[in-house]
Amino acid sequence: MLDAKIPAGPLDDKWTEYKGHCKLVNPANKRKIEIIIVGTGLAGASAAASLGEMGYKVKAFCFQDSPRRAHSIAAQGGINAAKNYQNDGDSVFRLFYDTIKGGDYRSREGNVHRLAEVSANIIDQCVAQGVPFAREYGGLLSNRSFGGTQVQRTFYAAGQTGQQLLIGAYQALERQIALGNVKMYNRHEMLEVVKIEGKTQGIIARDLITGKLERHFGNAVLLCTGGYGNVFYLSTNAMGSNVTAAWKAHKAGAYFGNPCYTQIHPTCIPVSGDHQSKLTLMSESLRNDGRIWVPKQKGDTRKPNEIPEEERDYYLERRYPAFGNLVPRDVASRAAKERCDEGYGVGSSKQAVYLDFAAAIIRYGKIEAGKHGSENPSAEEVRHHGVDVVKEKYGNLFDMYEKITGEDPYEIPMRIYPAVHYTMGGLWVDYELMTNVKGLYCLGEANFSDHGANRLGASALMQGLADGYFVIPYTVGNYLADEIYSKPVATDHPAFADAEKAVSDRINKLMGIQGKTSVETFHKRLGKIMWEKCGMARNAKGLQEAITEIQELKKAFWSDVRIPGGTDEFNPELDKAGRVADFIELGELMCIDALQRNESCGGHFREEYQTPEGEALRDDANYMYVSAWEYRNEHEWELHKEPLVYDVIKPTARNYK
Amino acid sequence: MEHYTMNLTLKVWRQKNQNDKGRFETYKVSDISSEMSFLEMFDVLNERLIHEGADPIAFDHDCREGICGMCSMYIDGKPHGPWQQNTTCQLHMRAFKDGDTITVEPWRAKAFPVIKDLVTDRTAFDRIIQAGGFISVNTGNAVDANSLPIDKHKADEAFAAAACIGCGACVAACKNSSALLFVGAKISHLALLPQGEPERKTRVMDMITQMDKEGFGACTSTGACEATCPKGISITNIARLNKEYLMAGLTADQ
Ligand SMILES: Cc1cc2nc3c(=O)[nH]c(=O)nc-3n(C[C@H](O)[C@H](O)[C@H](O)COP(=O)(O)OP(=O)(O)OC[C@H]3O[C@@H](n4cnc5c(N)ncnc54)[C@H](O)[C@@H]3O)c2cc1C
Ligand code: SF4
Ligand code: FES
């Protein structure tokens, strides 16, 4: 039976009670305890810095050349916190409520409430570190809105919030490295978990420059390795983002939670051709000011600026008047797909809709002109001021758009289409962020914990930093307090030798195939199956087909992949091959999970389960649980269900109308 | 936007590892779409090399949207190529025309040794940050974020400096391989904020000492760094650094 270890007592007091009663490790003992942290994005860097400060001996790993390059760096729009600085009625409860509702009632009350509680501390911590958030003229912090909420609680640094937060955490981490509390291993990839008598005792990592395998002991291992959106080949994730660390943990016994919950982000730059290697997000913050529309006429070939106002369908404002362009991501994505499937799409591929700033430019322009004392400003003057305001808010995103498409979004509406962006699923963890394997923790996007079936915008950064700065420092101590009695395991222990041998056998097997097809080709094929059959809309027949196709793909991969170069050298193709091999196995599990969930909820939309208006139809009576999958054998998993209990919130149909 | 395809000649630096001497190799690529990114063009070439049983060209990249600072190609004599305020990964093929020959090299600087082909070791930047590029505040020590209002202009200026992506193009562009734009950006970011005040003097001294130790050259104010920086980091940050350094030196307790 899965025990989520949610503390007893009223929701508001759970975390306080926990903190008041969890076990502590005294300073002298902390120095003897080693913690391995895999991943140095927001979750990993914040955890490594905090645990280093506390006096633990930390070893941190990342596959990039520096911790500052983790995928978190790319986050654009912002980070949520229940500060209520705008005095617009925000509170811890409201952030908690919005997150549960946004997640379509598929997350744990206890976890989400804790997240909302610590959210405010995150902003304080980041400001103290020198994170230059956007400010008002009075010198106080500025906020904007994100989807799925009616308050302004998102803190931001232009369109580079992730960058600024990560630089803050990175600098805190570098400080601990300088002090000798953290030892950093760049360009290293973790490839196996080492377990002894059911307890996690270390990892096997590969030095990506020399190809050498290394054994590292740790009293606890924290996986902070990010999301697995690249299983779809094309996504907004960085090229290197992968599931390997989580997958190795899964095969070593850790359950995988809700693998099928994927977030498709509504506003990304559309695919331009077969050469496409990744997709670029246009931040959700743009929906604060941009209006989404398609022509009212099917197959309209006119240029957007030639289509008069009355011939445009602002379909989100039409369908969801209360939230308009700021409906949650899953809702916005499906609505775009629906319009394009019906033949209203725009651009050469017809797989795009417009995101238009013309109205915002005029609105802001008038206000600014007024501030400049201009009572009857000319259209040009208004436009000029308006463009300036929009530039200040979103300049870097507009530049990015222009570099990619060659079109000027100040003049012509952006063309956008949904793309894979985030994975709510991940390793199953309990309230303490421990997987079901003792001593093995999972933080950040890599775990399944807080976002249910759909994540709200600006909440991933919040969760990553909450986990790393404010949750794990308490919860890991609760476990390590007992670890002080066990001696460190020498890395010549047979368990280390066996784990290392398994890794090296697998590498040799991959290198020995010497087939004809590149890793990239297999990855693309997997992506196509996943996008078509386990993407924005799914159905039982498609999922069954996908499972068979993926199994065939796996066979083909292991008999025909071609990896150039050698094992003992810098060899990115080999690194990629290992990751794609894991993605193939994960893809199968995602389809199995999507197939067993006979309902639509959040990002998981099963075509068989929808209302007559095309809205997602949940089945709370039968599916109000977390699916936690245990790996058994090749193609064989066992489903464990963690029931979700709602004590405070009453689940209802999500309504953004 | 009109799209077109092109045939190109690439002269690419190949170097097996740090000890190898390295040389240029020439490759022809055809049917390259103007809509591709520069790195996607390399993907196409690498796919072909793999197919032919040759060794693909190693290059660093990750986000492919101009923010992680990983990509680092020296293209036709310019770090990150011909476009202004742009990273290699954001460079698109419409910058080139049919028949062009493009020369691609790694960053060249003593402090950035080549690992393989176009991949270099830039960990020297991390060590400079370790020397002082931070504010010493432990988790849990912070006061309410709005208890300390900060002049918006200063905050904006700090942000502009903090936008540095640590790519090292400034070093690659400089004939002396100076890292002063990178260091100046960090000094400015932290010196402009009241939170950075307590460690202002030691920070600049320590970071400069580390920078020298890593083998970066001296600044002779050619401005090549600013002209090449993908994030528009201003050379005024170097002036601020010099001021901070001077001040720290004058008032240091001996
Ligand atoms: C384009 C984009 C924009 C976004 N914008 C926002 C936003 O505005 N607001 C918001 O809240 N969220 C946003 N998100 C989501 C958010 O950025 C991520 O969910 C979050 O940053 C993930 O952080 P993380 O620390 O969990 O993982 P990551 O930052 O992905 O870090 C993973 C780390 O693990 C390491 N790693 C992985 N595997 C291994 C291995 N096997 N061995 C060693 N190291 C390994 C990597 O090197 C890296 O250091 C955005 C996401 C994208 C793609
Ligand atoms: S200053 Fe500019 S060129 Fe230099 S590392 Fe920073 S972003 Fe790159
Ligand atoms: S790949 Fe990230 S900046 Fe170019």
- Residues of chain B positioned with their CB less than 8 A from the CB of A522: none
Query: Does ipTM exceed 0.90?
Result: yes
| Cβ atoms of residues A2 and A436 within 8 Å | yes
Q: What's the average model confidence in pLDDT over A437-451?
A: 97
pLDDT of residue B254: 47
Radius of gyration of chain A (CA): 24
Ligand 1 environment, Cβ below 6 A: A 38-44, 61-64, 70-72, 74-79, 161-162, 188-190, 224-227, 236-237, 241-242, 244-245, 281, 283, 421-422, 444-446, 458-461, 464
The C-alpha atoms of residue B236 and residue A208 are separated, in whole angstroms, by 38
Instruction: Measure CA of the first residue to CA of the last residue in chain B; give whole Å.
Output: 64
Residues A406 and A508 in one domain: no
- Other C-beta atoms within 10 Å of B132: how many? 27
Closest residue of chain A to B159, computed from CA coordinates: A132
**A305 and A413 part of one domain:** yes
* Boundary residue ending a domain (A378, A393, A418): A418
Strands A426-427 and A353-356: unpaired
- Percentage of the residues of chain A whose pLDDT score is greater than 90: 92
- Specify the 3-state DSSP secondary structure of B120: strand
Q: How many Å apart are CA A435 and CA A269, to the nearest integer?
A: 36
Q: Which helix (H) or strand (E) holds A273?
A: none
DSSP letter at A284 equals: G
Tell me A444's DSSP state: G
Widest Cα–Cα separation across chain A: 82
Q: Contacts of residue A160 in chain B, CB cutoff 8 Å?
A: 67, 163
* CATH at A560: 1.20.58.100
Domain for residue A393, yes or no? Answer: yes
CB A227 within 8 A of CB A412: no
Place of tokens 């190693």: B58
Q: In this prediction, what percent of chain B has a pLDDT beyond 70?
A: 98
Helices (H), ranges, A346-493 = 358-371, 379-405, 460-465, 472-483
**For A411-433, how does the pLDDT look when each residue is reduced to its tens digit (9 = 90+)?**
999 999 999 999 999 999 999 99
Is B5-116 a domain of CATH 3.40.50.1220? Answer: no
Q: Give the side-chain half-sphere CA count within 13 A for A295.
A: 18
> A323 in helix, strand or coil?
coil
Strand pairing report for B5-14 and B101-105: parallel
Number of C-alpha atoms within 13 angstroms, CB side, residue A189? 28
Distance CA A183, CA A57 (A): 8
Q: A275 and B33 in contact by Cβ < 8 A?
A: yes
Answer yes or no: do B55 and A565 touch at CB < 8 A.
Answer: yes
Instruction: Please indicate whether the domains covering B5-116 and B123-250 agree at the CATH topology level.
Output: no
- Closest Cβ opposite residue B142 in set A127, A133, A178: A127
Taking the CA of residue B64 as reference, the ligand 3 atom at the shortest distance is 1
Phi/psi class of residue A30: alpha, beta or left (left: φ > 0; alpha: ψ in -120 to 50)?
alpha
Buried b (16+ CB within 10 A) or exposed e, A17-31: ebeeebeebeeebbe
Same domain membership, residue A498 and residue A410: no
**Location of structure tokens 């996986």:** A223
DSSP conformation letters of B135-188: ----TT-PPPGGGS---HHHHHHHHHHHT-----HHHHH-TT---HHHHHHHHH
Residue A528 makes CB contacts below 8 A (sequence gap 6+) with A233
A146 in any annotated domain: no
- Angle in degrees, CA A250, A232, A404, rounded to 5: 135
Q: Could you give the CA distance from residue B250 to residue A334 in angstroms, rounded to a whole number?
A: 63
Domain that holds residue A580: 494-624+635-643
Residue A150 has pLDDT above 90, yes or no: no
Rounded distance from Cα A442 to ligand 1 centre (Å): 13
Is A224 domain-assigned?
A: no
User: Is the separation of the CB atoms in A539 and A608 below 8 Å?
Assistant: yes
B58·A572 Cβ contact <8 A:
yes
Nearest-ligand number for the alpha carbon of B238: 2
Given ligand 3 and candidates B42, B70, B229, which is best to mutate, with the most ligand atoms within 8 Å of its CB? Answer: B70
Cα B105 to chain centroid distance, Å, stands at 14
Mutation pick for ligand 3 pocket among B67, B80, B85 (CB with most ligand atoms within 8 Å): B67
Calpha distance A110→B71 (Å, rounded): 42
Distance CA A306, CA A315 (A): 19
Average pLDDT over residues A452-458: 95
Of the candidates B131, B140, B142, the beta carbon closest to that of A178 is on B131
In this predicted model, what pLDDT tens digit does every residue of B204-234 receive, in sequence order? Answer: 999 999 999 999 999 999 999 999 999 999 9
From the DSSP assignment, how many helices (H) and strands (E) are in chain B?
Answer: 8, 7
Q: Please tell me the number of the ligand nearest to residue B62's CA.
A: 3
Domain co-membership, A401 together with A505: no
Instruction: Report angle CA A166, A472, A178 to the nearest 5 degrees.
Output: 50
Work out the burial of residue A271: count CB atoms within 10 Å of its CB; fewer than 13 is exposed, 13-18 middle, 19 or more buried: middle
Rounded CA-CA distance A349/A343 in Å is 11
Alpha carbon of A103 to ligand 1 centroid (Å): 19
Q: What is the pLDDT of residues B163-201, one digit of tens each?
A: 999 999 999 999 999 999 999 999 999 999 999 999 999
Q: Whose CA is nearest to atom 5 of ligand 2?
A: B166
Which residue bears the tokens 């245990």? Answer: A630
Cα angle A191, B65, B83 (rounded to 5 degrees) comes to 135
Alpha-carbon torsion angle B124, B130, B135, B140, nearest 10:
130
| B252 in Cβ contact with B197 (< 8 Å) | no
Which neighbouring-strand residues pair with A423? Answer: A262
**Residue A369 belongs to some domain of the structure:** yes
- B231 CB near a chain A CB, below 8 Å? no
CA of A481 to the centre of ligand 3 (A): 42
Residue-wise burial string across A366-394, b where 16 or more C-beta atoms lie within 10 A, e elsewhere: bebbeeeeeeebeeebbbebbbebbeebb
Question: Looking at ligand 3, which atom is closest to the CA of residue B66?
Answer: 3
State the pairing for strand pair A262-268/A414-423.
antiparallel
| Measured distance CA(A105)–CA(A99) in Å, rounded | 9
Q: Residues of B with CB below 8 A from A570's CB?
A: 17, 58, 115-116, 119
Query: Is residue A308 in a domain?
Result: yes
What digits encode the pLDDT tens for the residues A262-271?
A: 999 999 999 9
Q: Do residues A361 and A387 touch, judged by C-beta distance below 8 A?
A: yes
What is the chain B residue with the closest CA to A209? B115
SS3 A493: coil
Asked if the model's pLDDT at residue A374 lies above 90, the reply is no
Out of A140, A172, A177, name the one closest to residue B146 (CB): A140
Distance separating alpha carbons of residues A315 and A106, to the nearest angstrom:
27
Residue A477 to residue A527: CA distance in whole angstroms: 40
Confidence of residue B252 (pLDDT cuts 50, 70, 90): low
pLDDT tens for B31-47 read: 999 999 999 999 999 99
* CA proximity to A653, closest of A608, A593, A596, A610: A610
**How many Cβ contacts (< 8 angstroms) between chains A and B?**
221
Question: Smallest CA–CA separation between B163 and chain A, in Å?
Answer: 8
Given a cut of 70, whether residue B56 has pLDDT beyond it is: yes
Domain presence at residue A312: yes
- A272 or A609, which is more confident: A609
Structure token pair of residue B48: 């072909």
Lowest mean pLDDT among A269-283, A436-450, B87-101: A269-283
In this prediction, residue B253 has a pLDDT band, given cuts at 50, 70 and 90, of low
Average pLDDT over residues A264-288: 92
Residue A277 lies in a domain: yes
Residue B30 CB coordination number (10 Å): 11
> Domain ends where: A389, A418, A447?
A418
Residue A87's Cα: distance from chain center in Å? Answer: 29
For residue A288, which phi and psi values (nearest 5 degrees)?
Answer: -65, -35
Q: Among the three residues A390, A418, A446, which one is the final residue of a domain in this structure? A: A418
- H helical segments located in A5-61: 14-21, 27-30, 42-54
- Strand, coil or helix: A74: helix
Q: How many domains does chain A have?
A: 2
- For position A382, what pLDDT does the model report? 96
pLDDT confidence bin for A158, thresholds 50/70/90: confident
Mean pLDDT of chain B: 96
Residue range A447-458: average pLDDT? Answer: 95
The DSSP symbol for A489 reads P
Residue B1 has pLDDT above 80, yes or no: no
**Residue A137 carries which DSSP code?**
T
CA distances A40 to A51, A310, A472, A580, B68, Å, are 13, 50, 14, 22, 13
Counting residues of chain A whose pLDDT is more than 70, the rounded percentage is: 100
Mean pLDDT of A463-485: 97
With a CB cutoff of 8 Å and minimum separation 6, the contacts of B243 are none
pLDDT at position A188 over 70: yes
Q: Helix (H, G, I), strand (E, B), or coil: what is residue A239?
A: coil
Tokens of A485: 């009695």
Q: Which of A184, A209, A403, A476 is the best residue to mutate to test the B interface, defined by the most B CB atoms within 10 Å of its own CB?
A: A403
Q: How far is CA A377 from CA A359, A361, A364, A411, in A?
A: 16, 14, 13, 20
CA dihedral B64, B65, B66, B70 (to 10 degrees): -30
DSSP class of residue A601? B
Strands B74-75 and B101-105: antiparallel
Q: Which sequence spans correspond to the domains of chain B?
A: 5-116, 123-250
Tens of pLDDT, residues B116-165: 999 999 999 999 999 999 999 999 989 999 999 999 999 999 999 999 99
Closest CB from A121, A164, A172 relative to B134: A172
Nearest to B158 among A123, A132, A239 (CB): A132
Please state, rounded to an integer, the average pLDDT across all residues of chain A.
96
Return the amino acid letter for A482: D
> Does residue A516 belong to any structural domain of this protein?
yes
Least Cα distance to A333 among A313, A363, A353 occurs for: A353
CATH numeric code, B123-250: 1.10.1060.10
